[in-house]
C-alpha cells in the first residue's frame, strides 16, 4: 500500500456493528472473561487491551499508522510531543550518560537538556547546525544518544540525516530524530539510520489546532523499554485524542502538499520584499542546505522564517499590523500563524544562546496555513506598512 492508502486504510478491526469509520473507544479499562483470562493477560501471555494507560484500540490504530508511515517496527503514543521526548530519554538513559544534540532544538527540549536531565546526572553537548563535522569530537565513552531535529524550530536549518546517521552507526550511538516539521509524509529518518523518530502530533499531524499528542516509533526492543517506562509512569495519549489524530492522518498527504505550495509562494514573495533582510525556507535555492533538503525531503514543509529590517521594534509593529494571520503558540494549523520566537517559544534562552541558534530580534516565524495563498501573501505584505 502507498502512503495515502495506509493513512486511510490501516484501521482497527470492525466490531459487531460493522462501522465504516473507527468508533471512539472511550473507556479506561477492559473486562476479563474469568480469573485465568485476567492472569494470563497481565502476564502478557496474550496480546489484548487491559487498561488505557497501557493500550487502547484508538491509540493502537494511531500508533500503527505512524509506525507504518515512518517505516518503523513499533511505537507508543503520548499525551504531548514533549512527553514523547522526555519519556524516550527517561526510559533509555541512566545516570552518567551523555547526549550529543544539535543546538537548534525546540525550546522545551533545550530546557530538558539544560535544566532537568542534569538533575539525574545526564549531560548534553551541542553542535551547531552547520557544524556536523564536529560531532565526532564531542563523543565520549558515556555518549549514548545522538539527537537532532530537522528542519529545526524555529530556524528551519536542515541537517544531513545521511551523514549524522552514519556517525551514529560508526560509534554505536542511538540516533533519535524529531521529525515534527517534516511529518512522515515529507521525510522518513529511519531510511537514514534513525533508531527512533519522535513527533509532536499536535502540529501538522492534527493539522487543525484541536488536540495535543506525541508519538515515538522505531526499533522494537527500544520501544519495549519506552512502553514499560510509560505504562508505569503514565504519559499515555487519551483515546479521544488518538481517535481525532488517526482521522487527521487520513488527510495528511493532501493537507501537507497544499501547506508546502502556500509556503513556497509566500517565501518567493518575501524574497522580493525590500523590508526583509533574508528569508529562510528549505526549498528556496538560497537556503544554505537546499541540496540536502532536496535529497531527504519530498517538499519544503510549511514553516519559514524571515528577518524584518529594524529589529524588535519593527518586528512588533509588523505583528500588530496583521489583520488575518493569528498570533499563536501553535504551528501546523489550517490557519496561518505568525510568531516572534525571541519573545515567545524560545524566550527561556539567553541572548547569547538565541544568537547561537540564529534567533535574532527581528526574526519572524510563519506557519503557513491552508487559506488561499493570495490572501496569506496579502496580509503579510500589508503588515509591513508604508514607513
Q: List contacts with ligand PLP (CB under 6 A).
A: 80-82, 106, 149, 153, 178, 180, 200, 202, 212, 214
Nearer to ligand PLP, 214 or 362 (CB): 214
Minimum distance, C-beta of residue 317 to ligand PLP, in the bound complex (Å)? 25
Q: Which C-beta is closer to ligand PLP: that of 52 or that of 153?
A: 153
Phi, psi for residue 363 in degrees, rounded to 5: -80, 130
Residue number, 81 or 358, with CB nearest to ligand PLP: 81
The closest residue (CB) to ligand PLP is: 81
Closest distance to ligand PLP from the beta carbon of 170 (Å): 26
Instruction: Find the shortest distance in angstroms from Cβ 203 to ligand PLP.
Output: 6
Which residue lies nearer to ligand PLP by CB, 243 or 384? 243
First vs last C-alpha separation in the chain: 54
| Smallest distance from ligand PLP to CB 106, Å | 4
Q: Which residue, 202 or 269, has its beta carbon nearer to ligand PLP?
A: 202
The residue to which cell 488527510 is assigned = 251
Measured distance CA(217)–CA(233) in Å, rounded: 18
Between 126 and 384, CB nearer to ligand PLP: 126
Closest distance of CB 100 from ligand PLP, Å: 18
Task: Kindly state the smallest distance separating residue 384's Cβ from ligand PLP, in Å.
Answer: 26
Q: Which is nearer to ligand PLP, 72 or 102 (CB)?
A: 102
What is the smallest separation between the CB atom of 72 and ligand PLP, expressed in angstroms? Answer: 18
Considering the complex, state which of residue 212 and residue 284 has its C-beta at the smaller distance from ligand PLP: 212
Work out how close the CB of 237 gets to ligand PLP at its nearest, in angstroms, rounded to a whole number. 11
Closest CB to ligand PLP among 178 and 307?
Answer: 178
- HEC string of the chain equals CCHHHHHHHCCCCCCCCCCCCCCCCCCCECCCCCHHHHHHHHCCCCCCCCECCCCCHHHHHHHHHHHHHHCCCEEEEECCHHHHHHHHHHHHCCCCCEEEEECCCCHHHHHHHHHHHHHHCCEEEEECCCCHHHHHHHCCCCEEEEEEECCCCCCCCCCCHHHHHHHHHHCCCEEEEECCCCHHHHCCHHHHCCCEEEEECCCCCCCCCCCCCEEEEECHHHHHHHHHHHHHHCCECCHHHHHHHHHHHCCHHHHHHHHHHHHHHHHHHHHCCCCEEEEECCCCCCCCCHHHHHHHCCCCCCEEEEEECCHHHHHHHHHHHCCCCECCCCCCCCCCEEECHHHCCCCCCCHHHHHHCCCCCCEEEEECCCCCHHHHHHHHHHCCCCC
Q: How far is the CB of 83 from ligand PLP (least distance, A)?
A: 7
Amino acid at each position: 500500500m502507498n502512503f495515502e492508502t495506509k493513512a486511510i486504510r490501516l484501521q482497527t478491526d470492525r466490531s459487531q456493528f460493522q462501522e465504516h469509520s473507527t468508533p471512539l473507544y472511550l473507556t479506561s479499562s477492559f473486562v476479563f472473561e474469568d480469573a485465568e483470562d485476567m492472569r494470563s493477560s497481565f502476564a502478557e501471555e496474550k496480546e489484548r487491551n487491559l487498561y488505557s494507560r497501557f493500550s487502547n484500540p484508538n491509540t493502537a490504530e494511531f500508533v500503527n499508522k505512524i509506525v507504518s508511515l515512518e517505516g518503523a517496527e513499533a511505537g507508543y503514543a503520548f499525551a504531548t510531543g514533549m512527553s514523547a521526548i522526555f519519556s524516550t530519554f527517561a526510559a533509555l538513559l541512566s545516570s552518567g550518560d551523555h547526549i550529543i544534540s544539535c543546538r537548534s532544538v525546540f525550546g522545551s527540549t533545550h530546557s530538558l537538556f539544560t535544566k532537568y536531565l542534569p538533575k539525574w546526572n545526564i549531560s548534553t553537548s551541542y553542535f551547531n547546525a552547520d557544524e556536523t563535522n564536529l560531532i565526532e569530537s564531542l563523543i565520549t565513552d558515556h555518549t549514548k544518544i545522538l539527537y537532532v531535529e530537522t528542519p529545526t524550530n524555529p530556524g528551519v536549518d536542515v541537517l544531513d540525516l545521511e551523514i549524522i546517521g552514519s556517525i551514529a552507526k560508526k560509534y554505536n550511538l542511538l540516533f533519535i530524530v524529531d521529525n515534527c516539521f517534516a511529518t512522515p509524509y515529507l521525510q522518513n529518518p529511519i531510511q537514514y539510520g534513525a533508531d527512533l523518530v519522535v513527533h509532536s502530533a499536535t502540529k501538522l499531524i492534527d493539522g487543525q489546532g484541536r488536540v495535543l499528542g506525541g508519538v515515538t516509533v522505531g526499533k522494537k526492543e527500544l520501544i519495549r523499554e519506552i512502553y514499560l517506562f510509560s505504562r508505569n509512569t503514565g504519559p499515555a495519549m487519551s483515546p479521544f485524542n488518538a481517535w481525532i489524530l488517526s482521522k487527521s492522518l487520513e488527510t495528511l498527504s493532501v493537507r501537507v502538499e497544499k501547506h508546502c505550495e502556500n509556503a513556497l509562494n509566500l517565501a518567493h514573495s518575501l524574497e522580493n520584499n525590500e523590508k526583509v533582510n533574508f528569508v529562510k525556507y528549505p526549498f528556496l535555492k538560497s537556503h544554505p542546505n537546499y541540496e540536502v533538503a532536496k535529497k531527504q525531503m519530498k517538499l519544503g514543509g510549511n514553516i519559514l522564517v524571515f528577518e524584518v529590517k529594524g529589529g524588535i521594534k519593527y518586528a512588533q509593529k509588523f505583528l500588530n499590523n496583521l489583520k488575518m494571520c493569528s498570533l499563536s503558540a501553535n504551528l501546523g494549523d489550517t490557519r496561518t500563524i505568525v510568531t516572534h520566537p525571541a519573545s515567545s517559544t524560545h524566550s527561556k534562552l539567553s541572548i547569547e544562546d538565541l544568537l547561537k541558534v540564529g534567533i535574532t530580534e527581528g526574526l519572524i516565524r510563519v506557519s503557513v496555513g491552508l487559506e488561499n495563498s493570495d490572501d496569506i501573501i496579502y496580509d503579510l505584505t500589508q503588515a509591513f506598512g508604508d514607513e
